[in-house]
């Protein structure tokens, strides 16, 4: 019989569902256009490494995302890895269609989420690596 891992009083599968929901909120145009909403989801020490290898912090994200037209992002094949009691890595594949593009781009993505002392999960790291069509 397989025993379900339990963290924070809830099974890991419940945490996976929670983190997928938080991740996918960052795909939504209304969230991406709101510095307030982005600030709730992204930690002050956040780092992003984009597909070109450029590194960004939270300040840059809060300046850039609200001015962009949000792409359509479709994600699949989520995997959750526990990195510690209050830290988890979410891996997935994404198809991204930007407004000015005729064809989507594809990427393998990785986000690291950390639970704060107040219980709020926030993204502390994100990286997307371009790949062949999924």
Mean pLDDT by 10 residues, the chain (134 residues): 45 90 97 97 96 93 95 97 96 95 95 94 97 90
Q: Is residue 1 part of a domain?
A: no
Q: Is residue 116 part of a domain?
A: yes
Q: Is residue 2 part of a domain?
A: no
Q: Is residue 115 part of a domain?
A: yes
Which pLDDT belongs to residue 51? 84
Q: Is residue 67 part of a domain?
A: yes
Contacts of 44 (CB under 8 A, 6+ apart): 58
Which pLDDT belongs to residue 10? 58
Residue closest to 122 by CA, chosen among 33, 24, 49, 22? 22
Q: Is residue 3 part of a domain?
A: no
pTM of the model: 0.89
Residue 78's domain comprises 8-131
Please give the tally of structural domains in the chain: 1
Which pLDDT belongs to residue 28? 97
Q: Is residue 65 part of a domain?
A: yes
CATH of the domain at 95: 3.10.450.50
């Amino acid at each position: 019989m397989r025993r379900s891992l339990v963290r924070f009083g809830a099974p890991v599968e419940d945490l996976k569902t929670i983190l997928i929901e938080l991740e996918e909120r960052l795909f939504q145009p209304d969230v991406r256009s709101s510095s307030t909403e982005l600030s709730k989801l992204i930690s002050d020490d956040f780092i992003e490494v984009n597909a070109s290898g450029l590194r960004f912090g939270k300040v840059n994200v809060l300046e850039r995302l609200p001015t962009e037209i949000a792409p359509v992002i479709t994600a699949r094949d989520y995997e959750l890895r526990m990195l510690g009691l209050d830290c988890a890595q979410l891996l997935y594949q994404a198809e991204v269609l930007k407004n000015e593009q005729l064809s989507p781009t594809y990427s393998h993505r990785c986000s690291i989420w950390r639970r704060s002392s107040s219980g709020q999960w926030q993204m502390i790291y994100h990286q997307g690596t371009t790949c062949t069509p999924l």
